[in-house]
Amino acid sequence: MKLSEIASIIGAEFNGDDKEIISMNTLKNASADELSFIANAKYVKDMSDSKAGAIIVNEKTKEFVPSGCEALVVEDTYWQMAVLTKYFAPPVEDKDAFEAEIGEDSDIAFEAEIADGAVIGKNCIIMAGVYIGSNVVVGDNTIIYPNVVVYRDCKIGSDCIIHAGTVIGSDGFGFASNRLGQHKKIYHNGNVVIEDDVEIGANVTVDRAVFGSTLIKKGARLDNLIQVAHNCEIGEGSVFAAQSGMAGSTIVGRNNVFGAQSGIAGHLSTGDFNTFAARSGVTKTITQSGKTFAGFPLMDHKLWLKLQGVLSRLLKSK
């Protein structure tokens, strides 16, 4: 889309260079032919180094737009970003794509559906009720059990196992809200990338990224009934037990262990080789590595055990 057309859609004044914009992206990752936005003043520091061709800003942040980048000034940047995501969303299925490619010795159930543009590797097993969307890539020796859904553009590595009922690449829980309490859907135009040797249990949901990729790295293990939100990253060899979950844009280090019903809030990160006990809640970034945590609010596991002992003695004394 031309920048002038984008400005017209969101009601922004525009008198600059009418360049072609091919997609939307974050401030850090946008290129000269991409559009970005800033919805929180704490990200102003990222604007000076941004290579975006244009940025949606408000009156308070427009002065920070770098030279050579066009400013689109609106009142509610987050709302207008949500509006534009629909215009850059790809079709649900790519009807113009090439016929799906199936690798040698792969066994595809008659009841499975492989959309045009998909590429299935060698020696794969795709069972009944599976749907593989447009432009999905599946590596070699991967097993996908019945009724798994993989939305378009997602990538699954080699030697993976995905159990029944799991959904890969659905939209995240993302929307903008205005002062009237109305909600505007944010179309998630990224994808999910699952690296090699990953096993995902039954009825897991892995949401696609708004921009870029939700990433599950090599060797990770996910139990049943787990939520992985948009733009999350699960480190190599990490393990998640049943009913655990991640909020959006969270980065988990390598070889982390999350116990059953534990959770981590959005836009946080954890160090490597940490363990989080069952039902623990991570509400701040964990910079340490090789530690064990428990409880809510989160604390060192040994301290949590002492606290439980103190509480138990208090109750007995009454």
Residues classed as catalytic:
230
Sign, CA dihedral 248-251-252-254, equals positive
For residue 78, give the amino acid letter: Y
CB atoms within 10 A of CB 313: 9
312: CB partners within 8 A, 6+ apart: none
Structure token pair of residue 302: 């040994």
For residue 304, give the amino acid letter: W
Closest CA to 244 of 231, 229, 225: 225
HSE-up of 174 (CA within 13 Å, CB side)? 27
d(CA 70, CA 58): 13
Structure token pair of residue 185: 């859907």
d(CA 227, CA 280): 15
- 156 and 132 in contact (C-beta within 8 Å)? no
